[in-house]
Structure 1
Amino acid sequence: LTGASRTRTLQVFDTELSADTVEWCPLPQWSHVLACGTYQLQKGDDKQTAEDSAPSRIGRLYLFDCNPQPSFIPPLTETQRIDTPAVLDLKWCHVPISERPLLGMATASGEIQLYKLMESQQGTCVLECELSTKLGPDRLALSLDWSTGRGESSDVRVVCSDSSGSLTALSLGEASLTAVCQWKAHDFEAWISAFSYWDTQIVYSGGDDCKLKGWDLRMGPSSPSFTSKRHTMGVCSIHSNPHREHILATGSYDENLLLWDGRNMKQPLSETAVGGGVWRLKWHPSQEHLLLAACMHNDFHILHCQKAMEGQDAPCPVLASYILHNSLAYGADWSRLPLSNSTPPSPQEPPQTSVGLTESGGHLRIQYESPTGSFDTSLEDDSGRYIPDQCSLPEKSSIPDPFTSPARDSQSLSCLMATCSFYDHMMHVWRWDWSPEEQQKPSEPAPSS
Structure 2
Amino acid sequence: MALRCKTQTLQVIDTEYSADAVEWCPLDDWGTLLACGTYQLKKPDSKVSGEDNDDPHLRLGRLYLYHYDPHRVFSPVTEVQRIETAAILDMKWCHVPLWDSPILGIADAKGSLQLYRLQGNRESSRVQPTCSVDLEGDCLALSLDWSTGRRESTSLVKMVCSDSQGRLSLLQVEESAPSLDVVCQWKAHGFEAWIAAFNYWNCDLIYSGGDDCLLKGWDTRATPDSPVFTSKRHSMGVCSIQSNPHREHVLATGSYDEHVLVWDLRQMKQPMSDTHVQGGVWRLKWHPTDGALLLAACMHSGFHILDSASDGCPIVSSYVLHNSLAYGADWSRVCPPVNPGTPVEFPAERTEDSVTAHSDAMKLEQSGQNLKIFYESPTCSFDVIVEDDAGVYVPEPSGKVEERPITGVSSNVKCGQAQTNLLATCSFYDHVLHVWRWQSQRLSPAE
TM-score (norm 2): 0.85
How far apart are the structure 2 equivalents of 1:40 and 1:348? 40
| Cα deviations by residue, 1:212-255 (Å, 9 ceiling, x for unpaired) | 00000002111000111110110000000000001000000010
Give 3-state SS (helix, strand or coil) of 2:357's partner.
Answer: helix
Residue 423 (structure 1) aligns with = 429
Structure 2 equivalent of residue 194 of structure 1: 197
Q: Is the 8 A contact 1:32 1:65 kept in 2?
A: yes
Residue 68 of structure 1, CA deviation: 2.2
How far apart are 1:21 and its partner, in Å? 0.2
2:168–2:196: 8 Å Cα contact kept in structure 1? yes
Residue 54 of structure 1, CA deviation: 2.0
Q: Which residue matches 1:93?
A: 94
Matched residue type, 2:417: Q
Structure 1 CA distance for aligned equivalents of residues 262 and 28 of structure 2: 29
> Given the alignment, which residue of 64, 67, 74 partners 2:69?
67
CA deviations on 1:47-103 (whole Å, 9 max, x unpaired) are: 49999622220000000000123x531110100000000000010000011221000
CA distance in 2, matches of 1:238, 1:201: 16
- Aligned match of 1:42: 42
**What is the Cα deviation at residue 377 of structure 1?**
4.4
**Residues 5 and 359 of structure 1, relative CA distance in 2, 3 Å threshold:** farther
TM-score, L = length of structure 1: 0.85
Deviation of 1:28 after TM superposition, in Å, equals: 0.6
Counterparts of 1:25-424 in structure 2 under 5 Å? 25-45=25-45, 47=47, 53-69=55-71, 72-119=73-120, 124-154=124-154, 155-173=156-174, 174-307=177-310, 314-341=311-338, 345-347=344-346, 357=355, 359-360=357-358, 377-379=397-399, 393-396=403-406, 398-403=407-412, 411-424=417-430
Name the SS of the counterpart of 1:29 in structure 2: helix
Q: State the secondary structure of the residue aligned to 1:436.
A: strand
Tell me if the contact between 2:2 and 2:445 (Cα under 8 Å) persists in the aligned partners.
no
Change (3 A) 1:51 1:290: same
In structure 2, what residue type is equivalent to 1:20? D
- Superimposed CA distance per residue, residues 252-305 of structure 1 (whole angstroms, 9 cap, x where no aligned partner): 001010111111222111111000000000000000000000000000000001
Distance in 1, matches of 2:123 and 2:274, equals 47
- Matched residue type, 1:378: S
Q: Could you tell me which runs of 5 or more consecutive residues in structure 1 were left unpaired when the two chains were aligned.
A: 308-313, 351-355, 367-372, 381-388, 442-449
- Aligned-residue offset at 1:357: 4.7
CA distance in 2, matches of 1:361, 1:273: 16
Give the residue type in structure 2 aligned to 1:336: R
Figure out how many residues of one structure are paired with residues of the other and give that number: 408
- Identity in percent: 53
Task: Decide whether the 8 Å contact of 2:24 with 2:332 is kept in 1.
Answer: yes
State the alpha-carbon separation in 1 of the partners of residues 67 and 434 from structure 2.
14
Alpha-carbon distance in structure 1 between the residues aligned to 2:52 and 2:225: 38
**Aligned CA-pair RMSD:** 2.7
The offset of 1:341, in angstroms, is 3.6
Evaluate the alpha carbon distance shift between residue 326 and residue 134 of structure 1 in structure 2; reply closer, same or farther with a 3 A threshold.
Answer: same
Residue 311 (structure 1) aligns with = none
Aligned to 1:22: 22
> Matched residues in 1 for 2:74 and 2:47: separation?
48
Letter in 1 for 2:99: S
Deviation track 1:304-363 (CA, whole Å, cap 9, x = no partner) reads 0103xxxxxx4211111001000000000000012224886324799xxxxx95635796
1:207–1:16 Cα change, 3 Å: same
In the other structure, the counterpart of 1:383 is: none
- Are residue 9 (structure 1) and residue 9 (structure 2) matched? yes
Question: 1:112–1:400: structure 2 CA closer, same or farther, 3 Å change rule?
Answer: same
Q: Which amino acid aligns with 1:420?
A: C
Taking structure 1 as reference, are residues 222 and 359 closer, same or farther at Cα in structure 2, changes over 3 Å only? same
Shift of 1:188: 1.0
CA contact (8 A) 2:108 2:142 kept: yes
Where does structure 2 lack aligned partners over 5 or more consecutive residues? Answer: 367-392
**Aligned-partner residue type, residue 422 of structure 2:** L
